[in-house]
Structure 1
Amino acid sequence: MPKIAISVGDVNGIGLEIALRTHHQIIRFCEPLYCAHREVLESASALLDFPLPQDMQCVADFEYPRGGLIEPNCVSAKSGKYSYESFMQGVNLTQSKQCAALVTLPIHKKAWQKAGISFVGHTHALSSICGVDSIMMLGCPSLFIALFTDHIALSQVSACVTQERVKDFLLRFAQGVNLNEPCCVLGLNPHCGDEGIMGSEDKQINAAVSEVNMQLGKKIFFGAYPPDSAFSPFNREKFRYFVSMYHDVGLAPLKALYFEQSINVSLNLPILRTSVDHGVAYDKAYKKGSNISTQSYLNAVQYAANNVLR
């Protein structure tokens, strides 16, 4: 079975509960190495009144903070620093081939900022560490969304949509998932700009789609499609993969349809990294009867294990 590094995310959120409750399931298809101190798992176990599985392998090689760590429902520099160090150990284990893949539990971006970490999140950090532009793809076997832009302000998106940049993205995406089926590329403006009446960005997208298909020698990408109708049942019968120019346009329909099933996959990296497709859920952390879904995490670990074994 492949060894998979698990970074535990923000310990004040739901990540540790998810790890504890699913350990007995994921050891059926991988060997998880938890980038955390056993004392942290013991504290979470006590707070949750959930028994700590004795076979959980804790491999933290960074300093355990003095004075305890877990403060439920609290955005803190201490938890931000710990989640970053857990993540970095997971990256190192995967880069050094000690683990075959990295699975990340949710962080809190403000906590990272409080800890003095300059990265916006996991994907931004991985792009910088690996020296490449990572592609964020989210979804499940029924629907995958690749994001042309991800964690940037809406006001900055338009300037990014050029023929050359879209072309480069589509080529990297096709290679990253070994794309051999049709993919729908969304436009940016309402009605894809109505032939320039509402912006010229969609003409750039259309030109990039044509150029990429020519370069690939086959028609893989289709578009630009108007985003308001792209996810109709009819289109979802034709397409399983979509490319969205902007974060919320692509992820709103995905989360409406497959919120508990979808995962986050980082493409175009020298390592395999998957993640849950949800946040820290402070409002549910360490509360009895909160009914936390673990399906996204299970799917993320399964995806990592399946792709390693291929």
Structure 2
Amino acid sequence: MNVPPDTRPVIAITMGDASGIGPEIIMKALARADVLAMCRPLVIGDAGRLREAGALVGSSLNVVVRETPAEALYAAGTAECIDLGLIPAGHPFGTLSPVSGEAAYRYIERATRLVESGAADAICTAPLSKEALHSAGHKYPGHTELLAHLTGTPEVSMMLVAPKLRVIHVTTHIGLMDAIRKIEPALVERVIARGRATLVKSGIAEPRIGVCGINPHAGENGLFGQGEEEEKIIPAVRACQAKGWKVEGPLPADTLFFRAARGDFDLVVAMYHDQGHGPVKVMGLEAGVNITIGLPVVRTSVDHGTAFDIAGKGIADEGSLVEALRQATDLAPKRR
């Protein structure tokens, strides 16, 4: 009897910082039938740490070690793992550690190579600690910049997705004054284009895009600021409109996010980190997803941190990871 091919995408789930809640939320997520129904989840991490986390959350999953993705069976009741063996037994939860920082880097590196080779279809990342990453000698502001380096991608964008809201950022992990200096029309136009292309690919034929201003009231026609909107944003908006795209702005951020949440826009373009992150996390931190736009590989992530304060207690919520896996499944190349 011919067995039909399994068309579920293989999602490489990186374990993140082993001292944080990543191992716990992974074990919780992989126990859910809806996760196994939509994808083939493969953890890139440490099998021993997953077993410790499983005991903390009361999971009965059997952690199975595989050398390659092709060996994995993805059967119910199992957690398939490419075991890098970097975390010692009994390694403390809830504590900043260069050991965990080094391991988090290695998980991402392995997952990236697996997707580039075609052995996996997308990456879904559990949270890492930037401080732990730096303490291990890897001086990247976060996952986004690290993945850009590993894939040789000169420029990427961060998109956050929450219930009723999508936000793409022009700048992310830099100070506010540095962000304002970095923003310029060509960059804004490229970010709008990347966000629009992603939504078109996901099935929204003509995305409605709202672009934030930098200053209060989007500068109020020059009343606030030093003319940043006129210099840095308006030329990009006009260039996009000239292509026939549905782009509006610059608009006051406070009213734009309200309008987007009620359905007026499919995507908001935020100028800097906190302008975009604040509204998304208010709208739904537990279900928020971080998507890196512009990479040659699909990458989604939870939209929360390592939560060292509750790590090791078995109480972390897996909802954001499940939603990140759903987004990775939707964006992954389809297997024939």
TM-score computed with the length of structure 1 as normaliser: 0.92
Q: What residue is the counterpart of 1:150 in the other structure?
A: 172
Q: What residue is the counterpart of 1:17 in the other structure?
A: 24
- CA distances 1:126-148 after superposition (whole Å, capped 9, x unpaired): 11222221110001352100010
Q: Which amino acid in the other structure matches residue 238 of structure 1? A: D
Offset at residue 195 of structure 1 (A): 2.0
Q: Provide the rounded CA distance (Å) in 1 between the counterparts of 2:30 and 2:260.
A: 39
TM-score computed with the length of structure 2 as normaliser: 0.85
Q: Which amino acid in the other structure matches residue 23 of structure 1? A: L
Q: Provide the rounded CA distance (Å) in 2 between the counterparts of 1:270 and 1:227.
A: 31
Within a 5 Å distance, the mapping from 1:57-206 to structure 2 comes to 57-60=80-83, 62-65=84-87, 67-68=88-89, 70-132=91-153, 133-140=155-162, 142-178=164-200, 180-197=206-223, 198-203=225-230, 204-206=232-234
Q: Secondary structure at the match of 2:262?
A: helix
Q: Secondary structure at the match of 2:254?
A: coil
Cα-Cα RMSD: 1.9
Name the stretch that deviates more: 299-308 or 234-243: 234-243
Q: Secondary structure at the match of 1:238?
A: coil
Q: What residue is the counterpart of 1:308 in the other structure?
A: 332
Query: Which 4+ residue blocks in structure 1 deviate beyond 6 angstroms?
Result: none
- CA distances 1:174-211 after superposition (whole Å, capped 9, x unpaired): 22332622110000011212222322111131121011
- 2:257 equivalent to 1:231: yes
Q: Provide the rounded CA distance (Å) in 2 between the counterparts of 1:16 and 1:64.
A: 14
Asked whether the equivalents of residues 91 and 102 of structure 1 are also in contact (C-alpha less than 8 Å), the reply is: yes
| Equivalent in 286, 294, 299 of residue 323 of structure 2 | 299
Q: Which amino acid in the other structure matches residue 211 of structure 1? A: A
Q: What residue is the counterpart of 2:71 in the other structure?
A: none
Q: Provide the rounded CA distance (Å) in 1 between the counterparts of 2:178 and 2:211.
A: 19
Q: Secondary structure at the match of 2:194?
A: helix
Name the stretch that deviates more: 273-282 or 189-198: 189-198
Within a 5 Å distance, the mapping from 1:250-289 to structure 2 comes to 250-287=276-313
Q: Provide the rounded CA distance (Å) in 1 between the counterparts of 2:193 and 2:52.
A: 46
Offset at residue 309 of structure 1 (A): 5.8
Asked whether the equivalents of residues 259 and 265 of structure 2 are also in contact (C-alpha less than 8 Å), the reply is: no
Q: Which amino acid in the other structure matches residue 189 of structure 2? A: K
How many pairs were matched up?
A: 304
Q: Which amino acid in the other structure matches residue 30 of structure 1? A: C
Distance 1:63 1:232, change over 3 A: closer
Unaligned runs of 5+ in 2: 1-7, 64-77
